[in-house]
Amino acid sequence: MLPVLALMLGLRWSAARAGVAAPAGTLVFAVAVFGFGGSGAPYGVATGFAGVLGETAFIVISIGVIIGPALGIHQLQTHSGATNRLQEALGRLTPDPGVAALLIT
């Protein structure tokens, strides 16, 4: 995560570009410094990289399963006007934004 942030903030790269460059750099670093997939390992670099890609795909799918429906609910609330009604009702409960934030959580 830090390499991605460094590339995005330091070099002003796009998220897509930094998201591809950071794992590639991390793989080179793992092979060069730690001997990832070397002669003593029970797997090669390609097998280890495939495992890392598989884990990454699992995490991306897990996040998508959580965020996708949440975005759908947000879209439904926005277009139906429910968000405005919730905001008005919360405003009637307390005029203090700090207390309103506590009520939401």
Distance CA 44, CA 74 (A): 45
Domain parsing of the chain, residue ranges: 57-105
Percent of the chain scoring above 70 in pLDDT: 100
For the segment 1-26, what is each residue's pLDDT rounded down to a tens digit? Answer: 788 899 999 999 999 999 889 888 88
pTM reported for the whole predicted model: 0.57
31-36: which pairs have CB atoms within 8 A and are 24 or more residues apart?
Answer: none
Distance CA 105, CA 101 (A): 7
Distance CA 19, CA 1 (A): 9
The encoded tokens of residue 14 equal 């796009």
The encoded tokens of residue 3 equal 């390499």
